[in-house]
Chains A and B, each alone.
Chain A
């Protein structure tokens, strides 16, 4: 690759799943560049391939056609270089580990020293506002706190890319607003590149510098919107005309994909 500028770059990406009901085209001809420091949201109805695309970046799925590079490498190589942290829809904390030991899990696997592990746990717990909760077990924490712990876990090994698959999907609106605000602050502070899958238009518009609208059957990109909103975003930015205008365009994009016609 001569062009190493984009952190993530996809070209003519195809992915066909072989199922019992025949082949399913999960991704078709997807092309996208994500620059360093971008906050990219993927939005679209179920089956539009947004999660699949994230999993392709993470090398959890392998494309059947086209190319995708992460930091100029294949996703498999990038994974070996610990290029990304992945946050799943369910917090997925191990119930037999305390919060601190959950965050240590990737560090143990990657062979960090004990002292380094402790130091990093402390640092990322602060980053997600969970200092003092290290010795608690997951079931002792609320859903929002558990999801924050799982973000801390993804941050612990200093990956530059954060892949988040509907991380706040199961949380209520108020907690979600709060976490969105915190996530923006965290992104601001760390300068990470974030790919964020969501169902929610306001969430996508509020968080992103770039919104990727997708539609199903076959999963494809229908619109890519560069957000003109400033980096500094208080929650009430959601009542400004600019915000509503972007939200409108996202909605139009979703409708253009005929997603809800059938």
Chain B
């Protein structure tokens, strides 16, 4: 495995940076804790310490830096702490038979995954249909495409609460549907752009060839444009599903949500449990990684079976 080394080096570099960052991030917490335990720190009160930079604090209190690596409520937990919390709230819960309890990240991950998949399906469908319309009707290219681009310039965090409020207004109960819509809103765009490119991938001579056979527009679409677009489709699906996950999490953030990884992040913030936030963040990242990997696998299998050169 020639590729193992670069991967490990990058991973090591990230971990090292993370560990280095923990010291300045947690020095205030460590000093607060030491002060409460009766140790002498400089400056002596939390208020006075606010006036001093973290670098100064670290230089003046070198003995207390290490304590920053094992705080209960660290500003920045270490990777090991995050890993332990993640393990506790997933495998740990599952081992105790409480995988679907409200305190289990498996439960929250499942809620997020469902909304993500619905949003992904909806977004992919909208993206593909939009691309077909754009490729086939010039007017759609001029009328639809600008709006698609504008739609992505509106910050989703601003839009998400509105979608939730509006869907509640028109009598949609629960969070599932508005979450899927927010998720689809982010997901459809890469699919649309990728499919427009993919459906236009056939060369002029390939299109001319079908003309010499007197092929209909539908035949040209099914026998040339669709198969030619598939490599592009898979690439955009991979971007799309990651975007769908982000959309779902954003949809879970506005106040009122109680389940899903996004809600976990928000609640962790409100209750001052950074470990819970980080565990949820890492869980979201793992979920995204798994989803993208699955699509990548599907892409490899499909394109190989279709005979595309790997």
Interface of A with B (CB < 8 Å)? 58-60, 79-80, 82, 84-86, 88-90, 92, 94-98, 105-106, 108-110, 137, 139
Contact = CB atoms under 8 A, between A and B. Distances in A.
B227 interface: yes
A96 B308 contact: yes
A85 B212 contact: yes
Contact of B205 (A82, A88, A98): A88
Interface in B261-310: 306-309
The winner among B208, B212, B224, B309 for most chain A CB atoms within 10 A is B212
Given A88-B205, A109-B219, A137-B309, A94 B227 contact: yes
A94 B206 contact: yes
Interface in B225-240: 227-228, 230
B291 to A, nearest CB: 26
Given A94-B206, A94-B224, A109-B219, A86 B308 contact: no
A112 to B, nearest CB: 12
Nearest to B202: A94
A86 B207 CA distance: 12
Contacts of B219: 109
A230 to B, nearest CB: 32
B226 to A, nearest CB: 10
Nearest to A107: B213
Contacts of A79: 211-212, 214
Given A89-B205, A90-B205, A108-B223, A95 B210 contact: no
Contacts of B230: 96
Contact of B209 (A59, A84, A92, A96): A92
Nearest to A165: B205
Contacts of B210: 109
Interface of B: 203, 205-206, 208-215, 219, 223-224, 227-228, 230, 306-309
A165 to B, nearest CB: 9
Contacts of A82: 213-214
B229 to A, nearest CB: 11
B307 A97 contact: yes
A85 B306 CA distance: 26
A92 B215 CA distance: 16
Contacts of A89: 205
A97 B206 CA distance: 13
Contact of A84 (B212, B215, B223): B212
Contacts of A58: 212
A96 B208 contact: no
B308 to A, nearest CB: 6
A109 B216 CA distance: 8
Given A106-B213, A109-B210, A96 B309 contact: no
Nearest to B309: A139
A236 to B, nearest CB: 35
A109 B212 contact: no
Q: Which of B205, B227, B230 counts the most A-chain CB atoms under 10 A from its CB?
A: B205
Contacts of A90: 203, 205
Contacts of A88: 205, 208-209
A54 to B, nearest CB: 11
Nearest to A89: B205
27 contacts: A60-B211, A79-B211, A79-B212, A79-B214, A80-B214, A82-B214, A86-B209, A86-B212, A88-B209, A89-B205, A90-B203, A90-B205, A92-B206, A94-B227, A95-B307, A96-B230, A96-B306, A96-B307, A97-B307, A98-B307, A105-B213, A108-B223, A109-B210, A109-B213, A109-B214, A110-B213, A110-B214
